[in-house]
Structure 1
Amino acid sequence: MDQQSHPPAQFGYAPPPPPPGPQWNGKTNGFSIAALTMSLLGCFGIFTIVFGIVGLNQSRRNGDKRGKVFAIIALSITGLWILVFAVAIGVAVARDIADGPDRDAAGVIRGERSISLSDLRAGDCAKDLEEQTGTSVDVLPCSSPHSSEVIAVFDLPATGVTDPEAAAEAGCEKAYETYTGQKVPEDAKFFLFTARMAELGTTDDPTVLCFAHQLTGTTTGSLKR
């Protein structure tokens, strides 16, 4: 018997060669492309992450190296977007904490800041009321240049009001006299501006905001007597 016809038993047989990798069909994975596109556009939501993971898994299985790269880039960019967003939130929270409460012990606004319309009080001054949008307003101490001053905040009666707009305007005119100790001068450089919260998107809110708004430019100081 030929002793060289088989390998020695102690060495065993050589393992079979690994199976060939999957054949790529030449098309880049659609999920990977979609994920990369959305990430570049700043869309870092759940769909971008899901598309990137699906694209990465499918590309690995079918040998799509380009799709694999696209998916990895998309997930990396998405991670960076999320990190930037988280840092921005952290900075905003830290700044808000550092700034302290909106008002001092006397209730006066502490420095320039943005507060909700529902948090406005008589004596607050708005930096530039005409530039405000949404439900927040930029306020600051009245000693700084401002366009408007809140002279009153009150609620319309729940019943007996047939014309809310007229009632609000009449209430603001009366509140102005109480706030300043005089009627509006004929040569005043401001006009009374009345805003009802019900008109600003807060349904059924009876709150009325009364502003003395500058006709042009800004002013300093307060109208309060």
Structure 2
Amino acid sequence: MDVRGVHDQDPQHLPAAQPPAGATAAAPSAPGGYREWAASNAYPEPGPTGTNGRAVACLILAVVGGGVGFALGAIPVLVVAVVSAALGVDALGQIRRREQRGRGLAIAGLVVSGLWVLMVVVFIFVRPDAPRLTDPGVNRAVQGKSLAPGDCLRTIDGSAAAAGPPVLPCGDPHAAEVYTVFTFPDGPYPGDAELEGEVEKRSARSFKPYLSGNESMDLYWLRPSSMSWPLSRQVTCIAVDPQGTRTGSLVG
């Protein structure tokens, strides 16, 4: 009896090889029905690899770090905002390249960082020196001006806008006069309570030479806030006549 093994069979009669599941067959590359399979299609492409860590860090730093920085002053806020923005921009690039999630987090962090910067700019440049302790309603035209001892002010209430420039010759009727200006040395912001106490002490001491005949004058001052401290540490002290207008100068 003629028995033929598989190894003796005609290759033309062998069953065609089957591709692995999910693979795409390539064109025949050899005689006899043998096929090669495209290795690139043997496994599916990997999907997104989770949420981008820098996007998360961007949002957390913008929200938490910005709030903490705001309590410390303008410079910490700006530093935090810049670092957060850099993380957000880098995160958007990584998300695009790696097909990760977190684009919304990165954008939200960038928006919050921008709002912190805008708040600092508005606070510093629109209202740099807010009066403290007692606020007589110092006219906005006075705030932001570089006042000097001997400058007389037409008024320190809201009527100055209609009355004309707030600084005028002391021979004209006026309501207040700047009697001293001093600047704190470089250093960290001392805190509201400590700064207020020191300003009040120095303000009263500086007025002593003008006290005679002016005992009824009220003393006010413009001092730096925690936000404006890095840019200006100047204090402007103003004497106000509670009886109304007067002529002449305290300082002389």
Q: Identify which of structures 1 and 2 has the higher relative contact order when contacts are C-alpha pairs closer than 8 Å and 6+ apart.
A: 2
Q: Report the structure number with the largest CA radius of gyration.
A: 2
The TM tier, using the shorter chain, reads 0.3 to 0.5
Higher strand share: 1
TM-score (norm 2): 0.36
